[in-house]
Amino acid sequence: MNYVSTRGKNEKVFAAQAIKQGLAGNGGLFMPEELPSLSFDDLSAVCGMSYPEAAAKILSMFLTDYTYDELLSDCEIAYGSAGFPDGAVNVAALDERIKILELWHGPTCAFKDMALQIMPRLLSRALTKTDEKREALILVATSGDTGKAALEGYKNVPGIKIEVFYPETGVSKIQKKQMATQDGDNVRVCAIKGNFDDAQSGVKKIFSDSEFCEKLNEKGVFLSSANSINWGRLAPQIVYYVYGYCQMVKRGDIHMGDKIDVCVPTGNFGNIFAAFIAKKMGVPIDRLICASNSNNVLTDFLSTGTYNRLREFHPTISPSMDILISSNLERLLYLMAGCEATAEYMRELNEKGSYTVSESVKEKLDEHFKGYFCSEENTKKTIKEAFAQGYLCDLSLIHI
Ligand SMILES: *Cc1c(COP(=O)(O)O)cnc(C)c1O
């Protein structure tokens, strides 16, 4: 399978190259040229699989330059009992109507573990597959969860170093401690003055600084990313939507073929975009509910068709969602509007701080997505209500 840039189709690479590179050459994001599909028979087969088996199956549909055996052996280690002693994912019932896909059973309790436990193994293989002799330096911008999960996934991986940038005042105390005390001889963390968007823009700037990259090259180093702009991070996230649906069938919550709505707390649009891909592949998902906090740029976008990042930034109690530039939205625009329109929208976003999608793109968005947001007060109230129903839905509360 070939990967192309969301901003133009000239560059075509295999998965290993896309994972090694992170961003496409023209600043766009890599997308598979076509999406594989899953029949109900395929889904029924997944119902009988372990998580590592399901992950290897789904990943092998996208990473066609990796063998199934390579992927299975990597997934067995990544999602095995060392990192996930209670199993990789669990479906819990909040009530009759609402089920929760628990993605926090990994080593750092962040759902990011689901991708970041496997991604270093995919990158390691990508270096071999592309005959890469240089060392990879992973740059990560984080508002908390990604940093710790990436450090934990990449620590002591040969041939790879990792440096994490986080906003000095934007991450929780636990996360700061998790990052500052990370073990491993190839890891480094750096606090920056500013918010997550500043960290992310800074990292993007380093990536596109060709003079700097040339200097690194002379030293035998190249840059790569572990943010969800990297396809190697996104692909593993598709798996748990497929697997989660099958778990619901197995539990008897639904019958095969019944449609479910999926509600995803959203920041950089990676997680919900993975759900959209699962839907496009054939998982019976009806509505994708994009849940934001008071940084509700996506809520406004989905209701009006205008994306406007020029607004006040609100630091909240859910900092992983405190994002005004949702990078992976570009992938959705690419699927709905094509590469030329996407390149134009991104140019406008960069130059004016906003863009408005065409009527036809807006209609396509409405067909699949609905955006809502939750105030700080409502977030707390909901966590409290769920707790009263017997469900603890914010692990960080254990530490407060
Ligand atoms: C990363 C993260 C998000 C946002 O996910 P995206 O894929 O960036 O949309 C939301 N909640 C938590 C707890 C996270 O760690």
Encode 216-277 in three state secondary structure.
HHHCCEEEEECCCCCHHHHHHHHHHHHHHHHHHHHHCCCCCCCCEEEEEECCCCHHHHHHHH
Burial 168-188 (b: 16+ CB within 10 A, else e): eebbbebbbebbeebeeebbe
Going by the DSSP 8-state scheme, the letter that residue 29 receives in this structure is B
In the chain, what percentage of residues exceed pLDDT 70? 98
| Catalytic residue selected from 20, 112, 129, 362 | 112
Contact (Cβ atoms closer than 8 angstroms) between residue 140 and residue 228: no
Q: Taking the C-alpha atoms of 128, 268, 83 and 174 in order, what is their torsion angle to the nearest 10 degrees?
A: 130
Asked if residue 268 has its Cβ within 6 Å of ligand 1, the reply is yes
Q: Is the pLDDT of residue 107 over 70?
A: yes
Let me know if 202 is exposed, middle or buried by CB neighbors in 10 A (0-12, 13-18, 19+): middle
Distance (angstroms) between ligand 1 centre and the Cα of 345 equals: 24
CA distance 167 to 192: 5
Distance (angstroms) between ligand 1 centre and the Cα of 166 equals: 15
Asked if residue 270 has its Cβ within 6 Å of ligand 1, the reply is yes
Q: Which domains does the chain have, with CATH numbers?
A: 234-388 (3.40.50.1100)
* Residue 112 is among the residues annotated as catalytic for this protein: yes
pLDDT digits (tens, 9 = 90+) for 52-102: 999 999 999 999 999 999 999 999 999 999 999 999 999 999 999 999 999
pLDDT band at 400; cut points 50, 70, 90: very low
Q: What is the pTM for the complete model shown?
A: 0.94
Asked if residue 265 has its Cβ within 6 Å of ligand 1, the reply is yes
CA distance 119 to 226: 8
Asked if residue 143 has its Cβ within 6 Å of ligand 1, the reply is no
Count other C-beta atoms under 10 Å from residue 75's C-beta.
27
